[in-house]
Chain A
Amino acid sequence: MIVVITALTARAGRARAALGRATAIPFLVRAGIALCGLVAVLVAWPQPLLAGRNLALLALIAMYPAVAPRGRGATVAALVVVAGWLVDTTVFDARIALWRVLALATLLYLGHTLTALAAALPFDAVVNLDVVGLWLARALAVVLISAVLTVVALGLAAELAGPAFLVATLAGLAGAVGATLLVARLLRRA
């Protein structure tokens, strides 16, 4: 028992020291990760399930990558958000609204890229503003291109009405080919 208490006290001391050394920009980046995760969960999961203990657990999972950006927490958080989205649209039969797809895509990608930044950025670093500025500008460009694609694709799907399955298959196949090419290129390089 005493050993546990000592370990906990030591850990708390280290955490306090770390907090004392923390600088503003890495802290803001991590706050951004937590915010993106939290909002993504709120957007994705069905309202009836977002209550009480469920909400606390989901919020914890969504915000965990902010604390440990180098771990697998970000992948788990993104998968939880996708799972919530699937549950809402299949079990609860929610309508696939454009704003929700846009918001989810944006939040998931921002959370992912901010986690990548936080993983490389020590919490006590002195950061030049251009680092974060350029990083966010690139992320926003990606988000913007995806948003345009989303609007066009969903509009196309609505127009075609019936063969949404076909659109999904075509888009999915195109994406899969792109991803395969990317992985092949990476493998060749290694």
Chain B
Amino acid sequence: MIEHPPREPWPGPAWVPTRALGRSVLLTGLLLVLGVALGRVDLVLLAAPFAIGAAIHLRRMPRSAPEVTIGSDDEHVVEGGRIEAALTVSNPDVIAYDLVVVRTRTSRWMRLEQADRPFAVAVPADGWAAVELPGEALRWGRQDVGPAAARVAACGGLLACRPVITPARAVRVYPVTDPFNATEAMPAAAGLVGNHRSRRTGEGGELAGVRPFAPGDRLRRIDWRVSLRTRDLHVASTLSDRDAEVLLLLDVLGEVGRSGGVAGSASVLDTTVRAAAAIAEHYLQRGDRVSLLEYGAAARRLRPATGRRQYLTVLEWLLDVRPDPVEQDRAEEVFGAHHVASDALVMVLTPLVDPRAADMLAQLTQSGRYVVAVDTLPAGAAPQNRNQWTPLATRLWRMERENVLGRLREHGVPVVAWAGAGSLDLVLRDVARMAAAPRGR
């Protein structure tokens, strides 16, 4: 049996006559008929402009549809930064477009000048016209400019084109990174390269002490001054330099708080993404390997790597962070401690709103990972006031949350609120000290 492909719907003509053309034809015809019937030249002359206008305007007619393109500077745009978007209407036809009305939608996180208004421009034949939309990107993410639509009137408004619609273009807006500086030691370094002084002596730059020469020591390590004084060979021992893996675990089970963009209040995901970018930047600059993992239904993952290339990948990866809730009964399938390398420093960025996040933290600590929890809940976050019980319920929930935080601390999970620079130093020192203690629970 032969199957016929489905017939495509007949595409209607792109150009359609307008009401002005109908009016022109009607008035011309009526006035001519009346003029002839009544023998009145003046009525024929009243029809003359309509007939002449139609003849002049319709002597050449448009054949092709206009093209609308959305352009934007693809450079490194950070939230709060300037952005230059532009709508370009090109006219491939042989006649000019008398009027092109072009309008666009934009993401609510783009404040482009007059983007909420339509623009009216004229486009010459075989030419183009651009509408500049300078503005500001207010929040990180892939922010859409578009879809844009253009309606064209040609031939003096006697013919109009059906709207031409162009899909949206996503502009990458990177999160602003709060400068972050942690000087404390990493709990567990992995390879024999890197910037962190390890807890073991070895080849490195940091002086650990002076000890008597032993077979196997390199001659260039001999500390001649001490050796002369003690009349015995001594060597300067150093701590080996190591790199480490930092895993940033992003809790994306839900979004809490209202985001106000870069200048306004920060929601949980805002804090999460900005903190993750800052932490990743810091550790990548120091030569550590950074990986990222989402605690959500999709469980997106970024493999550990180092260097500037990884930093750019991290930023790109962070653009796609969005709330990704998991059903209650599927939580176990999504995440397990086996996803986390045993010697990695795990920084969990979580609002600790979902009880499963606290369970996950406890589970990670129990399995011997070095865990730091960064509390991303905004300070004033509270549910919408629905009735007289809401404030009370909110207080109860806050107390319960404090309880959970306390219990976590008791179990050795340091929880620290993200406050930008230096907020993790104290905690990292504690983790390093914990790591120095013998393991084997």
Residues in chain A within 8 A of chain B (CB atoms): 21, 23, 25, 70, 72, 74-75, 78-79, 82, 85-86, 89, 96, 101, 104-106, 108-109, 112-113, 115-117, 119-122, 124-128, 130-131, 134-135, 138-139, 141-143, 145-146, 149-150, 153-154, 157, 164-165, 167-169, 171-173, 175-176, 178-179, 182-183, 185-186, 189-190
Contacts and interface: CB of A to CB of B under 8 A. Distances in A.
Interface in B29-84: 29-36, 38-58, 61
A82 B46 contact: yes
B23 interface: yes
Most buried by A among B42, B56, B118: B42
B55 A125 contact: no
Most buried by B among A106, A146, A149: A146
Contact of B23 (A74, A128, A138, A182): A74
The 6 A-B pairs of least Cβ separation, nearest first, read: A116-B157, A116-B20, A109-B49, A165-B39, A172-B36, A146-B49
Contacts of A154: 41-42, 45
B236 interface: no
Contacts of A183: 25
Most buried by A among B29, B119, B120, B153: B120
Interface stretch (B11-19, B198-206, B407-415, B416-424): B11-19
Which of the four size classes fits the interface of chain B?
35 or more
Contacts, number: 196
8 contacts: A116-B20, A121-B99, A125-B119, A128-B121, A168-B38, A169-B36, A178-B55, A186-B58
Contact of B27 (A78, A101, A168, A172): A78
Interface string B154-175: 0011101000000000000000
B157 A167 contact: no
A74 B44 CA distance: 20
A116 B117 contact: no
A182 B54 contact: yes
B114 interface: yes
Binding site secondary structure of chain A: helix
B365 interface: no
B122 A126 contact: no
A120 B153 CA distance: 7
Nearest to A172: B36
Contacts of B32: 172, 175-176, 179
A142 B57 CA distance: 10
Interface in B84-124: 98-99, 101, 114, 117-122
A67 to B, nearest CB: 15
B190 to A, nearest CB: 59
B95 to A, nearest CB: 12
B49 A72 contact: no
B132 to A, nearest CB: 11
A162 B167 CA distance: 66
Contact of B52 (A79, A134, A142): A142
Contacts of B238: none
B157 A175 contact: no
B151 interface: yes
B143 interface: no
B406 to A, nearest CB: 53
Contacts of B40: 89, 96, 168
Contacts of B53: 109, 112-113, 139, 142
B42 A127 contact: no
Contact of A128 (B22, B55, B120): B120
